[in-house]
A and B are shown apart, each in its own frame.
Chain A
Amino acid sequence: MGMSVHIRNASGIRTHRTGSSEYIYLHFPYLPVMRLARQHQLDSSALICVYQPEKGVDRLVYLSEAAHRQGLSTGLSVPDARARLPEALFYPADHVADTRLLVRLARWAWRYSPRTGIDKTALGIWIDMTGASHLVGGCMAGLHQMMTILSQAGLTVHAAASPSYAASWALAHYHPDAAQGVECFGLASERVQMLDILPVTALRLEADCVDGLVRSGLRSIGALRGLRPADLAMRFGASLTVRLEQLNDDRSERLVAVRADQPMLVTRHWPEPIAGEAPVVRMVDWLIDKMASLLMMQEQQARQFELGWQYTDGTTAHMQFRLSRASNDRLIIRRLCADAASRIDAKFGIDYSWMRASGLVDYKPVTALLGTDQTGLAEIELEHMIDVLAARLGPEKVRRAIPCDSWHVEKSEERVAVTEAEGRHHDWQIEMPSILSAPRPVRLLNIAEPITTISVLPDHPPQQLVWRKKHWKVTQASGPERVGPAWWQADLKDSRSRDYYRLQLSQGPRIWVFREGLAERGDKIGWYMQGFFC
């Protein structure tokens, strides 16, 4: 720790100059709720609850301030919360969208420091103000400026500034005055005093370790002060002593800063307007060649390419291309953009054109490129085929199937573009006993088709049915498998229960039909054809 000097600036805010680090941590406790409120155009008084499945039960993870005031708390199951507050709105957690928003906030903070990062598990961003705080009149001045701007943008933010990341994190999350902004640059004794009142959860420990500390009566950081580090490490693991050290010393902290996602750009002003088929082809080829060379020189590969041009009248147009695997190979990019030239209508001429590459990754030559790794070569060939088909048919037509958490078979799977599957297609679980107990047809009709049935009793499977104007006789039936509606979803409240039956037709086919509605409830009963078994 270096020597620190405290002065007061014109506005009375104490500024701080020191030879040590300066970290600001901004915690956004209601970030997912605010994102959803803006997305669905809800006001701040809306009772918004965000849930995610935990051990098979949907539990609340984030709540709006209004929902908190109404007595809801995180960890509550969705049915319980709905029973307590029927007017509350429930949305599934979207951690990807939250992370994306945090990255945008971290990039916004580049105006204060070139080194910023996100803490996606705890909904926060950090700003390393070391060496940059004097530009905004000191660390605390910067902190208050950030809080003012973010508050005006409608974000609730808890903030803290201190010489270490761990202390800033702990104060921003657990200090009672964090909503007004807390600084901890004073004397060592003042810092200790501020940190000692915080609970042990402020040390970012594993849940088991925290449980152990609480059971031992060690509830606050101050309670750990008098104990020997060796004893703590032996009893609760080495991570506890490391976290305690990190409150004062950043050397063992591993922080990853947000990187600028700057696209690579190749541009050209053409001396004469380009028109006609052959010149446009040459223009596209020139841009591709330059882009491939630039990527190779920068040792980068790109996943997305934008080919754009400006007409003589000043209007612009562009087209996008996407690769399933990042590349800087001229031939691959050329094949990807094979029909681009034919799709460009030069009109009265093109003045200016550009090619932009984004989604950049570092280029790491692999043995596959040398022809020594057959498996790698095969993978590359498969991905090239996917790229070609995606470019020709559209990326949304080359897809993988991913499982969805729904009992309704038509909603229990989703097809997503190969480039967006992100490994989720490996989530399928094949368990033989469950397959046999809950059979599913190999082919599903796009829309269940109504059928006319003849049954012995109302709750019996049909003996005969008419489907597509043809009579079918049933020889065997199995069921029912009852699937209830998703009553907790507002738009499905009026849905009816379905009883699924497997039917063996005398002509051979085995089909899956369902009866919608319950006779005992007075529902309108309807029979529908859903699919075919093999």
Chain B
Amino acid sequence: MAQMHEMKLEKTRQVGHQGDHARRHLFTSLKQHVSHLEMGGNTAQLSCDLPELDHALSGGVRAGYPHLICGHPHDGAATGFVLALLAKMARQNPEAIFIWCAAPFAGLQGQLSARGIAACGLSPAHFIFIDEQHPMQLMAAYEQALQTKSVTAVIAEYGVMYQKPELWQRWIRRFRRAARTSGAFGLLLGADAPIAGLETKWHIASHPYQQMPASSPTSSPSLSPSLSQGDEWPSIWDVHLVSARAGRPYRDMLVWDRISHKFRHSPVPHIYQPVAHLALSAQPVSA
């Protein structure tokens, strides 16, 4: 394989006229190959169904790496996005096992509901819940679970740990090593935190859904007298890929289809305004 890359590089040199673009592409493929060898051949990627997003991720969400998914505590969008990724994994592997590590008395943002998981079209039978209140023990349990080869994904709600940036550098290094051992998806879920060293960092927020024929959506709430059939309230999220080690940032308004388990572009216009009222005042605790 490496010889083949060398031959390509030689050919590129000989041709000469392909320029920097081809060279960059070649180096990217070489990097991917080295990464593949480091991972022991396990570089599974989870496609997000949208070519633009997959391109920004260099193919998809990569297994064997930790990913950070941030959201506001008053919003279920980030949790929904994680469940959407898990639903796609479960569709690929019906025997998938997900370990969800969280504090049982989370307070502000509440607890993940098994009925809610089922409402997303995902069976709660896939899940094993680690309920630990102590944040440090929770992170240790997350690392232990992330080392296990038969696990598809391990999710941790880090809660108040976002206020401890001094701990994260060590933790992230250990998470990367653990995820590389098992090849599992490592997902960290919580409030926006100044955490670096992760494979990708996402910020997910709910976008207000407005009924298309609404005459004046803000004047008075429209009351449906009974629950109507059909997904009348789709999950519309402002998906912001803040950073990706092997890709580039990306932002789009996406809709999650709970029946087909696919992302699609939102029909609502893209309005990228900073949501000031949702920005969490994450002040790192000074050492």
Question: Which residues does A use to contact B, with CB under 8 Å?
Answer: 378-379, 381-382, 385-386, 388-389, 392-393, 397-401, 403, 409, 412-413, 415, 418, 425-426, 428-430, 432-433, 435-446, 456, 460-463, 473-479, 481, 502-510, 531-534
Judge whether B97 is part of the interface by a CB distance below 8 angstroms: yes
Judge whether B52 is part of the interface by a CB distance below 8 angstroms: no
Which of chain A's residues have a CB closer than 8 A to the CB of B77? 508-509, 534
Q: Are the C-beta atoms of B113 and A441 separated by less than 8 Å?
A: yes
Question: Which residues does B use to contact A, with CB under 8 Å?
Answer: 72, 74-77, 79-81, 83, 97, 104-107, 109-125, 127-132, 137, 140-141, 144-145, 147-151, 205-211, 217-218, 220-224, 227-233, 235, 238, 256, 258-259, 275, 277-278
Which of chain B's residues have a CB closer than 8 A to the CB of A403? 114
Which of chain B's residues have a CB closer than 8 A to the CB of A393? 130, 132, 137, 141
Which of chain B's residues have a CB closer than 8 A to the CB of A503? 221
Across the two chains, which residue of chain B brings its CB closest to A507?
A: B277
Chain A to chain B contacts (Cβ below 8 Å), 23 pairs: A378-B150, A381-B150, A382-B97, A385-B144, A388-B144, A389-B130, A392-B140, A397-B132, A399-B130, A400-B128, A425-B125, A428-B118, A432-B258, A436-B231, A442-B80, A443-B111, A504-B208, A505-B208, A506-B218, A509-B75, A533-B116, A534-B76, A534-B77
Q: Contacts A429-B118, A437-B227, A441-B116 given; 18 further ones with Cβ under 8 A?
A: A397-B132, A425-B124, A428-B114, A428-B123, A436-B230, A442-B116, A442-B117, A442-B119, A443-B113, A446-B105, A446-B107, A462-B221, A475-B208, A508-B207, A508-B208, A508-B238, A509-B75, A534-B120
Which of chain A's residues have a CB closer than 8 A to the CB of B151? 382, 385
Which of chain B's residues have a CB closer than 8 A to the CB of A462? 221
A515 CB, min distance to chain B CBs, angstroms = 13
Q: Are the C-beta atoms of B224 and A442 separated by less than 8 Å?
A: no
Across the two chains, which residue of chain A brings its CB closest to B115?
A: A440
Across the two chains, which residue of chain B brings its CB closest to A509?
A: B75
The residue in B75, B106, B116, B149 that gathers the most chain A C-beta atoms within 10 A of its C-beta is: B116
A398 to B74, CA, bound (A): 26
Q: Are the C-beta atoms of B83 and A534 separated by less than 8 Å?
A: yes
B217 CB, min distance to chain A CBs, angstroms = 5
A144 CB, min distance to chain B CBs, angstroms = 52
Which of chain A's residues have a CB closer than 8 A to the CB of B218? 473, 475, 506
- What 5 pairs across the A-B complex have the smallest Cβ distances? A534-B80, A378-B150, A532-B76, A442-B116, A401-B114
Which of chain A's residues have a CB closer than 8 A to the CB of B75? 508-509, 532
Q: Are the C-beta atoms of A435 and B119 separated by less than 8 Å?
A: yes
Q: Are the C-beta atoms of A439 and B110 separated by less than 8 Å?
A: no
Which of chain A's residues have a CB closer than 8 A to the CB of B129? 398-401, 415
Q: Are the C-beta atoms of A460 and B121 separated by less than 8 Å?
A: no
The residue in A443, A502, A534 that gathers the most chain B C-beta atoms within 10 A of its C-beta is: A534
Q: Are the C-beta atoms of B110 and A443 separated by less than 8 Å?
A: yes
| A446-B110 contact given A507-B275, A534-B79, CB 8 Å threshold | yes
| A478-B227 contact given A388-B144, A415-B129, CB 8 Å threshold | yes
Across the two chains, which residue of chain B brings its CB closest to A500?
A: B227
| A437-B229 contact given A428-B124, A534-B76, CB 8 Å threshold | yes
Q: Are the C-beta atoms of B207 and A476 separated by less than 8 Å?
A: no
Across the two chains, which residue of chain A brings its CB closest to B112?
A: A443
Q: Are the C-beta atoms of B113 and A475 separated by less than 8 Å?
A: no
Q: Of B211, B231, B258, which contacts A476 at CB under 8 A?
A: B211
Q: Are the C-beta atoms of A436 and B229 separated by less than 8 Å?
A: yes
Q: Are the C-beta atoms of B278 and A463 separated by less than 8 Å?
A: no
A429 CB, min distance to chain B CBs, angstroms = 8
A465 CB, min distance to chain B CBs, angstroms = 11
A449 to B140, CA, bound (A): 32
A446 to B103, CA, bound (A): 11
Q: Are the C-beta atoms of B278 and A507 separated by less than 8 Å?
A: yes
A268 CB, min distance to chain B CBs, angstroms = 33
Q: Are the C-beta atoms of B209 and A504 separated by less than 8 Å?
A: yes
A508 to B278, CA, bound (A): 9
A476 to B132, CA, bound (A): 36
Across the two chains, which residue of chain B brings its CB closest to A393?
A: B132
